[in-house]
Structure 1
Amino acid sequence: MDQFDLQANRISIEVLENVVIQNAASPMRHSIKSLAKLRCHIDLDDFGTAQNPFNPLR
């Protein structure tokens, strides 16, 4: 963001829901949380697979 002078709220990251429901200590989940704290948009995807894990997401 610094290199290209981008504002965090102009960035959107698309993440599969199975990444979000991983172990809370996973490096990927830590990175997603860090980006969210910077105010990047985090979009969940892959809900069209008929395996919607809504309970674990809560």
Structure 2
Amino acid sequence: MYGWIWRHLPGNVWVRAVVALVLALAVVFVLFQYVFPWAEPILPFGDATVTGAGGRP
């Protein structure tokens, strides 16, 4: 997959590297702005169990 993306980017190696970096940053931005906030209520990260000292409830 990464090879296919690399072959389809325009320009020489430096231009491709910059474009690939911009694409990666765009993906991270979309994940943090839209995907993670949408999925947060669905995921069980808030369901933690804390026990007392010594592992006893």
TM-score between both structures, scaled by the size of structure 2: 0.27
Q: Which structure is larger by alpha-carbon Rg, 1 or 2?
A: 2
TM-score between both structures, scaled by the size of structure 1: 0.27
Higher relative contact order (CA closer than 8 Å, sequence separation 6+): 1
Answer 1 or 2: which has greater helix percent.
2
